[in-house]
């Protein structure tokens, strides 16, 4: 996961102290989202002036006042929309020692998937009731998590990784008031995120404004602990399952079944092959619980229908994938469906100039079409760079139907230095390389970047952008969608060169990945049932 952080500051009638807090955060190089949580007119005006004076500060107002948790969640979602991967939550009352901001950021960079929590050291001005009362919450949190990992669950000085935090918030209704800090950190610990505690000083300045209402907020905190306690008991009985990474999912379908479908195509034609594929699709639908959940999650986020996706929607999604596989087989046999090629002139220019280029595709539509077309027509030398360990049966079946299939396939385990050198040689020889950019790396240490996709933060691999930078060649996005009985090929120039400056490498990668994710989302909406990533793309545990 990459690292690009901003600060989120919830503010309710703290106009007198918010300016100093924001100024210190900007001094640490952070963009600031200042969330005006329905403050009074005087504070609202002060915050608007502050936003006009500080270019790196955006004041976002929500009405009516929704409570601290609602304001923080709003800020986290806005941070993700702006391409940030992490958000540093800081209270606007001036109680936090902002000299410690670099320590929080350093821990987040060192372990990007961790929640970095402030562990307070109180000054002499802290009320005894607040200091000792926290131990009651500590006891319950340690019981709810069955660990001592969370040093303090009430401190509002905290660094969140946005992708898993927003995935949690979209799945679970989190507390919106003062108990938000407790609720979210316990549930993130349940998700398996590491917790890093940073000792930091908390001060209680004379005359400070506190919105904590003793009876109301203690009752709400007690209610939150009750829900978490019974949630902990439920988890002991029904342990949540975490979906496996796509590269560890067993390949579904048998070699015999694939060959039967292909035999039906050869003997009786495409319609017979589609009929022969139906039993296999029904079997995968009936036995593939994770694939069904993944399809439903994607269709829900896509909003392809006004109502929530049904089992029939999921079945249609799976059957569309089977049809795409049949079309790939047909293409390699020379039966290419009619094609409308948007960007054909650019493609032929590259071929005529024998100029190497990198095409970044996806699991949307039928990426095989570009290789099949080029090979059959000798238009250009095109090589697909693929991780085929997960799809050996299908690849072997295609290889058996056409010996030329393997000529345009380069199987790799990772994008290490040796692979980069090999690919650079091919680019220099004028080849077009095709890779996909919508699956996180198979290797455990592969780096990913968070980007907004279908309204939520999702992880995309950094590898394609890093490879494009190393190859120093033109980069295009390629999408191939089926429209009726025809295919529409879309070739878009993405960058003449992908530049990753040393002093802003992560930010540049995040921008390129966000650009790719935006175009992928556009074409997913053009062909809703043709995105074939049947695994947990948003990395959410299943309950």
pLDDT tens per residue across span 193-239 = 889 999 998 887 655 555 555 455 567 777 888 888 888 887 777 65
Clarify whether residues 280 and 220 are in a common domain. no
Task: Single out the residue in 182, 206, 237 at which a domain terminates.
Answer: 237
Task: Single out the residue in 237, 270, 289 at which a domain terminates.
Answer: 237
Could you tell me which residues are beta bridge partners of residue 511? none
Check residue 196 and report its DSSP letter: E
**CA 511-359-502 angle, 5° bins:** 35
d(CA 322, CA 158): 46
Clarify whether residues 260 and 117 are in a common domain. no
Clarify whether residues 188 and 267 are in a common domain. no
Tell me what pLDDT residue 399 has. 54
Please indicate, yes or no, if residue 538 is contained in any of the structural domains.
no
How many folded domains does the chain comprise? Answer: 2
CB under 8 Å to 276, separation ≥6 — which residues? 260, 261, 264
| Dihedral angle over CA of 404, 407, 408, 414, nearest 10 | 140
Please indicate, yes or no, if residue 245 is contained in any of the structural domains.
no
Please indicate, yes or no, if residue 541 is contained in any of the structural domains.
no
Q: Is 90 helix (H, G, I), strand (E, B) or coil?
A: coil
Is the pLDDT at 133 greater than 90, yes or no?
A: no
Please indicate, yes or no, if residue 159 is contained in any of the structural domains.
yes
Clarify whether residues 284 and 316 are in a common domain. yes
The token duo for 473 is 């060649």
Q: Which of 182, 177, 170 is nearest to 228 (CA)?
A: 182
Clarify whether residues 83 and 199 are in a common domain. yes
d(CA 25, CA 48): 17
Clarify whether residues 227 and 265 are in a common domain. no
Task: Single out the residue in 204, 237, 270 at which a domain terminates.
Answer: 237
Beta strand pairing status for 475-483 and 486-495?
Answer: antiparallel
Q: Which of 63, 532, 15, 109 is nearest to 323 (CA)?
A: 532
Please indicate, yes or no, if residue 311 is contained in any of the structural domains.
yes
Once rounded to an integer, what is the mean pLDDT over residues 259-267? 71
**CATH code for the domain of 44:** 3.90.550.10
Is the pLDDT at 413 greater than 80, yes or no?
A: no
Clarify whether residues 428 and 491 are in a common domain. yes
Tell me what pLDDT residue 116 has. 95
Tell me what pLDDT residue 407 has. 58
Tell me what pLDDT residue 285 has. 87
Tell me what pLDDT residue 401 has. 54
Tell me the residue range of the domain where 91 lies: 5-237
Q: Where residue 16 falls among pLDDT bands split at 50, 70, 90?
A: confident
Distance of CA 227 to the CA centre of its chain: 28
- Answer yes or no: are the C-beta atoms of 390 and 246 closer than 8 Å: yes
d(CA 190, CA 195): 11
Clarify whether residues 300 and 365 are in a common domain. yes
Q: What is the DSSP string of 253-289?
A: S-HHHHHHHHHHHHHH-HHHHHHHHHHHHHHHHHH-H
- Mean of all residue pLDDT scores within the chain: 80
Clarify whether residues 280 and 217 are in a common domain. no
**CA 343-470-409 angle, 5° bins:** 60
Clarify whether residues 352 and 380 are in a common domain. yes
Please indicate, yes or no, if residue 539 is contained in any of the structural domains.
no
- Answer yes or no: are the C-beta atoms of 160 and 86 closer than 8 Å: yes
Tell me what pLDDT residue 190 has. 87
Q: Where residue 251 falls among pLDDT bands split at 50, 70, 90?
A: very low
Q: Which of 424, 426, 454 is nearest to 438 (CA)?
A: 454
Once rounded to an integer, what is the mean pLDDT over residues 127-135? 59
Q: Where residue 99 falls among pLDDT bands split at 50, 70, 90?
A: very high
The token duo for 270 is 């495409």
Please indicate, yes or no, if residue 242 is contained in any of the structural domains.
no
Tell me what pLDDT residue 476 has. 95
pLDDT above 90 covers a percentage of the chain that reads 26
Tell me what pLDDT residue 43 has. 87
Clarify whether residues 261 and 170 are in a common domain. no
Is the pLDDT at 414 greater than 70, yes or no?
A: no
Clarify whether residues 217 and 313 are in a common domain. no
Once rounded to an integer, what is the mean pLDDT over residues 32-58? 89
- Answer yes or no: are the C-beta atoms of 264 and 272 closer than 8 Å: yes
Residue that the structure tokens 């249609």 belong to? 316
Which of 342-356, 402-416, 453-467 has the weakest average pLDDT? 402-416
- Answer yes or no: are the C-beta atoms of 119 and 36 closer than 8 Å: no
d(CA 47, CA 207): 20
Please indicate, yes or no, if residue 246 is contained in any of the structural domains.
no
pTM value is 0.60
């Amino acid at each position: 996961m990459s690292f690009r952080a901003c600060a989120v500051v919830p503010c309710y009638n703290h106009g007198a102290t918010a300016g100093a807090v924001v100024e210190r955060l900007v001094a640490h190089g952070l963009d600031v989202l200042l969330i005006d949580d329905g403050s009074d007119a005087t504070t609202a005006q002060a915050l608007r002036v502050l936003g006009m004076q500080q270019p790196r500060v955006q004041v976002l107002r929500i009405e009516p006042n929704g409570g601290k948790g609602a304001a923080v969640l709003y800020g986290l979602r806005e941070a993700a929309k702006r391409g940030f991967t992490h958000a540093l939550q800081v209270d606007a009352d001036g109680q936090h020692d902002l000299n410690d901001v670099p320590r929080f950021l350093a821990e987040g960079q060192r372990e990007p998937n961790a929640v970095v929590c402030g562990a307070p050291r109180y000054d002499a001005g802290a009320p005894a009731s607040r200091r000792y009362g926290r131990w009651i919450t500590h006891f319950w949190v340690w019981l709810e998590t069955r660990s001592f990992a969370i040093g303090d669950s009430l401190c509002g000085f905290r660094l969140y990784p946005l992708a898993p935090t927003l995935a949690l918030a979209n799945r679970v209704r989190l507390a919106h008031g003062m108990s938000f800090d407790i609720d979210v950190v316990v549930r993130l610990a349940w998700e398996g995120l590491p917790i890093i505690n940073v000792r930091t000083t908390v001060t209680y300045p004379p005359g400070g404004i506190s919105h904590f209402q003793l009876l109301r907020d203690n009752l709400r905190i007690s209610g939150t602990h009750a829900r978490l306690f019974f949630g902990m008991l439920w988890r002991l009985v029904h342990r949540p399952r975490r979906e496996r990474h796509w590269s560890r999912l067993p390949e579904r379908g048998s070699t015999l079944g694939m060959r039967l479908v292909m035999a039906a195509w050869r003997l009786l034609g495409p319609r017979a092959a589609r009929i022969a594929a139906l039993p296999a699709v029904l079997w995968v639908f009936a036995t593939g619980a994770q694939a069904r959940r993944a399809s439903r999650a994607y269709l829900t986020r896509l909003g392809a229908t006004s109502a929530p996706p049904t089992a029939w929607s999921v079945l249609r999604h799976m059957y569309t994938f089977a049809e795409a596989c049949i079309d790939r087989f047909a293409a390699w046999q020379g039966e290419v469906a009619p094609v409308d090629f948007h960007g054909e002139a650019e493609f032929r220019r590259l071929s005529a100039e024998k100029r190497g280029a990198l095409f970044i595709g996806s699991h949307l539509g039928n990426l095989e079409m570009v290789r099949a077309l080029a090979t059959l027509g000798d238009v250009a030398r095109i090589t697909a760079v693929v991780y085929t360990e997960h799809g050996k049966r299908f690849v072997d079946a295609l290889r058996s139907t056409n010996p030329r299939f393997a000529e345009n396939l380069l199987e790799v385990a990772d994008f290490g230095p040796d692979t980069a050198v090999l690919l650079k040689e091919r680019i220099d020889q004028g080849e077009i390389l095709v890779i996909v950019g919508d699956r996180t790396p198979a290797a455990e240490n592969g780096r990913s970047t968070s980007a907004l996709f279908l309204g939520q933060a999702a992880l995309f691999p950094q590898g394609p952008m890093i490879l494009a930078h190393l190859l120093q060649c033109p980069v295009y996005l390629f999408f191939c969608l089926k429209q009726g009985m025809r295919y529409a090929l879309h070739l878009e120039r993405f960058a003449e060169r992908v530049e990753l400056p040393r002093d802003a490498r992560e930010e540049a990668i995040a921008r390129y990945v966000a650009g790719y994710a935006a175009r992928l989302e556009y074409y997913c909406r053009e062909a809703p049932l043709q995105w074939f990533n049947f695994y947990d793309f948003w990395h959410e545990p299943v309950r």
